[in-house]
Structure 1
């Protein structure tokens, strides 16, 4: 799940675009087949694989993954510039590095790591395994039958991802001109990435050298720090992550700084309100609610029941998190659907009236972007034929992977997916909020109710993945088309890059998942890799199958309260003056620490504090360096995860256990 992304103002974006265009106008843009290079593909594979491992780790620990589009563009720039300089030192002259090639690499990397984020490895796919089945109550919960278990497997996971993700590439191809040019949707994340890429290729080497140095320093520090920490983690409860920063009592309630550079870097990329919302959720849950509910053990829930049972305190954690997620998701779903319908209707009515004046008002640079975007068109038949053929294959093959998900459910999903994908892509273009996970939940509840108690849980989670993957990939493609439109990159090159990245993600993501799955205790609520969304999605499916009978005593009333709280916060955010509304907490961000604790929220707030102080001391330098420094922190420790996993698989344990005990 990706939360929080800040974009530049409209005036800054236009100024950067004009600066970039002044240099580019004197050059001829290369044809699409020359925008994709061998070195670009190599860079895409390497960076995409690293980002997949990083995203997988974040998925399986906290479930929160920042938007790494800007980091992908930055690393692509650093990689190719370094490549060219190394070749120059050996006397080999290499082709110039263009912003089109930079865009192609960024597109491929984003497509690759987005499979790790949205492929369900930390949510609906992991929610099918035996451990999550037991954590959600086992056979004592109605509808949670032994037949509703499907253990992870590289083969079926890879096949399922290829089927559902590639369909998403073909859904909106016929509508790309309407969304990007006719409706002029902004796609803020795509636009911000384009501004960064244009800036890289117009400001010269001075800025690039500073960013490269900043990235290398923090990358090296983060990698070596991860290596150093490893020596003190001989057992599960050992290491620097056990340091009782605020005292031992606070640590029992998960309030401590765990020295994770990954979360500090993530906090630097996420907006301040996201990080503060996480901290608020941690204080409200582990600081107040769970200690109070724990005191009524034996009254609200049995005292002798296992801690991981849904009838114990764990049930309140899971279902209140779900209530916050559903309240926030429902509000934004209705809001964005309403905005989409109103905008489409108004544009449809005014299209004939305004079409004559549009071309007169357009700037020369805008016309040039539109001309390049339309010139190398993607045939409409390619989208239609690709979607129909892959849909037919999916209708036949997916029921073999998930016998519980009948072929007619898959067929209905593919009939409705294009309209849902359009609504989501339009909403992302307007608001930068991706609602694919909410469309997935709609599919989950619908199929759960229709499949019955015996097979409903597995069928519901598989349907969730089917809907979410198609809609998510389609919206990511449109966002990258916007980046390509602003950097004068051919849509054909963009589509091919997206397809390459998607294929790479469908192969790399299951492999990186199994690296963690075999090396660590994934899904353990007391361990590092809690995978919080796995149990959330399984319980969503159980609720869809049997209703609210799975809830412990008084939990339903608390869920109603937090569901209403999520809607009220969103209403306040939209109705209050902007200077007040921007400080309203985000319920989705608040929900995660309700389940897993506050330690990572403290790390991310440290990242926010670093950015805040840096901006106070030197705002211009901070704006330039924060993406590079944050990327270094994330990538360094993220890359250390790879050798740490290999060491764990080889049964090589660290030599020291560092623990803290009361005096």
Structure 2
């Protein structure tokens, strides 16, 4: 949740979930085994089921839209957007309706593709890279060598978790006011600090930088340099010409409008390209299946080309297929569950958001299974879920259908939630089925675990968000929790409803240019050899600091540098313990937010403000205090 509300960059936490679930359950089983209450060993199948439950629970923190569409409905974000900030287009967060909303939209996707699991996993043999990697990790834990390594990894994680937590606790003492503390340390100078170039001593983003690929971190820093180092200073010189010099900094008709809409243009350009790429690749693979249907061959995920039956039918594969198909989930349960839950949502969701009509939801649920299949198939080929892209599609289509006078902005954001939940959950379930297939876990147990985890997430995620919401200034562009994607999603909804009339001068031209650049960079990246492509930046990553600034990218680059030198010194050690160190840094710093929120609610404030001033300002302050 903290990652969601700070930058919106959320790396895969499957390794951390696997490691912690293995360690905690092993600890518990050893304790009850020593009491003579347990005779059976902890198996990889049980590990897989627990992992599925944990991942589906914390996944609601992202798919629930707390850092995007859901909080984008609020009055806090509406005030920043300036347009469509009337009562028709605002719904402020409240714990009750958020939990109800989560329960209504989060379960339908679980039933959307269950009947197709054999086709996706067994027939098409899609790899689902994240699911496969998780399965190999779990299988490795349950060998003598893997168990010993896991113990060392957990010790490492615990050590860096403690250090990160204590560092966050220490920093808290110096944050008694705005722009106070280590997070506002002008490490590169005061002028650079004004343009968001500084290191903010965040253990979280150093850890994230160690997990994210090098090219992602470089793309983030490059995007920050292009925007805050070049573009925004140049556009600010046009104040009074391109936009009024009397506008506040937060106005979308001023400099902030360029920041927001150029960022949206880059995100949409990247999203459209990847949507077309995955869609075309999926169609080509399906055509390959059709053409080879009489040749008794099956496609592999890498390029959709056939693989011979000899390759496909090893003893291990036969055993996996046998167990995967043995524990069937009845199709009547899948179809009946989808229809029943869709009917409940169609009836009940308009009670929570009256502007969202039953026919809007019905249209989304008719279209959703097709999009869910496309997303799950593409995710199996590329490991790239386009759930947020399909959500943005719903924002534009259903928001425009509702119209500005009927709360179209709110309708678009709510429809985004409905679509994202179905499409994202369906592909996540297929990833989990792939993990279960490779660890010989029961599909029915996996499905039930996913349902339980989703139910837990529907309660836990809103409660955690509510704690943040009540304790901190969420959504403020200059605060600790700016939730950058909320303003992006709301402005996409406004664009879908009102068109392009609100853009400042020359902003539309710049948006077209950056949309085209984003699309072209992705195209070039896919056309050049892999050894060249790995050095080409990722537009989606480069777009994030356009709005936020590059301060967190500097943290992440530091994480990359630490990992690079560690790999250079001892590659095997870095590969084994790097994710554990990163997870410890992230979890310790993230967990401190909980006691910090409790202290804030109890009106216990930090005692010291550590702030940095220029020499001239400091002289004025000294003079003022002297008088």
- How far the C-alpha of 1:205 sits from its partner, in A, is 3.5
Question: 1:120 maps to which residue?
Answer: 65
- How far the C-alpha of 1:86 sits from its partner, in A, is 4.2
1:176-195 per-position Cα deviation (integer Å, ceiling 9, x unaligned): 00000100000001111111
Q: In the alignment, does 2:288 pair up with 1:346?
A: yes
CA contact (8 A) 1:87 1:94 kept: no
Q: Where does 1:4-403 land on structure 2 (aligned, <5 Å)? A: 56-87=1-32, 93=38, 95-137=40-82, 141=83, 143-202=84-143, 203-354=145-296, 358=309, 361-403=312-354
Q: In the alignment, does 2:371 pair up with 1:420?
A: yes
Unaligned residue ranges in structure 2 (runs of 5+): 299-307, 616-627
Question: 2:618 maps to which residue?
Answer: none
- How far the C-alpha of 1:81 sits from its partner, in A, is 2.4
Partner Cα distance (1:163, 1:396) in 2? 10
**Total equivalences in the alignment:** 604
Secondary structure in structure 1 of the residue aligned to 2:361:
helix
Superposed CA RMSD in Å reads 1.4
- How far the C-alpha of 1:87 sits from its partner, in A, is 4.4
Partner Cα distance (1:506, 1:599) in 2? 32
1:132-182 per-position Cα deviation (integer Å, ceiling 9, x unaligned): 111001xxx3x4533211111111111111111100000000000000010
- How far the C-alpha of 1:419 sits from its partner, in A, is 0.7
Question: 2:414 maps to which residue?
Answer: 462
Q: In the alignment, does 2:354 pair up with 1:409?
A: no
CA contact (8 A) 2:79 2:85 kept: no
Q: In the alignment, does 2:481 pair up with 1:529?
A: yes
CA contact (8 A) 1:103 1:483 kept: yes
Partner Cα distance (2:509, 2:182) in 1? 39
Cα separation, partners in 2 of 1:216 and 1:449, compared to 1, 3 Å: same
Partner Cα distance (1:94, 1:511) in 2? 38
Partner Cα distance (2:81, 2:570) in 1? 50
Partner Cα distance (2:35, 2:233) in 1? 65
Cα separation, partners in 2 of 1:287 and 1:381, compared to 1, 3 Å: same
Partner Cα distance (2:567, 2:294) in 1? 47
Runs of 4+ with >6 A deviation: none
CA contact (8 A) 1:211 1:628 kept: yes
Q: Where does 1:601-616 land on structure 2 (aligned, <5 Å)? A: 601-616=553-568
Partner Cα distance (1:524, 1:92) in 2? 53
CA contact (8 A) 1:443 1:464 kept: yes
Question: 1:660 maps to which residue?
Answer: 612
Question: 1:48 maps to which residue?
Answer: none
Question: 2:301 maps to which residue?
Answer: none
Query: Which among 435, 443, 454 is matched to residue 386 of structure 2?
Result: 435
Partner Cα distance (1:131, 1:205) in 2? 49
Secondary structure in structure 2 of the residue aligned to 1:548:
coil
Q: What TM-score, normalized to structure 2?
A: 0.94
Question: 1:551 maps to which residue?
Answer: 503
- How far the C-alpha of 1:90 sits from its partner, in A, is 6.0
- How far the C-alpha of 1:102 sits from its partner, in A, is 1.2
Secondary structure in structure 2 of the residue aligned to 1:259:
coil
Q: In the alignment, does 2:524 pair up with 1:572?
A: yes
Cα separation, partners in 2 of 1:424 and 1:391, compared to 1, 3 Å: same
Secondary structure in structure 2 of the residue aligned to 1:351:
coil
Q: In the alignment, does 2:582 pair up with 1:630?
A: yes
- How far the C-alpha of 1:360 sits from its partner, in A, is 7.3
Partner Cα distance (2:34, 2:437) in 1? 35
Question: 1:511 maps to which residue?
Answer: 463
Secondary structure in structure 2 of the residue aligned to 1:560:
helix
CA contact (8 A) 1:144 1:542 kept: no
- How far the C-alpha of 1:82 sits from its partner, in A, is 2.6
Cα separation, partners in 2 of 1:453 and 1:204, compared to 1, 3 Å: closer
Partner Cα distance (1:135, 1:195) in 2? 46
- How far the C-alpha of 1:93 sits from its partner, in A, is 4.9
Secondary structure in structure 1 of the residue aligned to 2:246:
coil
Tell which deviates more after alignment, 389-398 or 347-356: 347-356
1:342-386 per-position Cα deviation (integer Å, ceiling 9, x unaligned): 111211231232159626751111111111111111111110000
Partner Cα distance (2:42, 2:105) in 1? 34
CA contact (8 A) 1:436 1:468 kept: yes
Secondary structure in structure 1 of the residue aligned to 2:501:
helix
1:35-67 per-position Cα deviation (integer Å, ceiling 9, x unaligned): xxxxxxxxxxxxxxxxxxxxx111111111111
Partner Cα distance (1:584, 1:231) in 2? 42
CA contact (8 A) 1:399 1:407 kept: yes
Secondary structure in structure 2 of the residue aligned to 1:257:
coil
1:300-326 per-position Cα deviation (integer Å, ceiling 9, x unaligned): 111111110101111011000100000
- How far the C-alpha of 1:92 sits from its partner, in A, is 5.8
CA contact (8 A) 1:222 1:637 kept: yes
CA contact (8 A) 1:522 1:530 kept: yes
Partner Cα distance (1:180, 1:557) in 2? 45
Secondary structure in structure 2 of the residue aligned to 1:213:
helix
Partner Cα distance (2:354, 2:336) in 1? 27
Partner Cα distance (1:92, 1:264) in 2? 43
CA contact (8 A) 2:75 2:85 kept: no
Question: 1:27 maps to which residue?
Answer: none
Unaligned residue ranges in structure 1 (runs of 5+): 1-55
Partner Cα distance (1:95, 1:212) in 2? 23
Q: What TM-score, normalized to structure 1?
A: 0.89
- How far the C-alpha of 1:209 sits from its partner, in A, is 2.4
Partner Cα distance (1:92, 1:107) in 2? 26
Partner Cα distance (1:461, 1:527) in 2? 24
Partner Cα distance (1:205, 1:410) in 2? 48
Question: 2:492 maps to which residue?
Answer: 540
CA contact (8 A) 2:88 2:355 kept: no
Partner Cα distance (2:297, 2:258) in 1? 55
- How far the C-alpha of 1:91 sits from its partner, in A, is 6.5
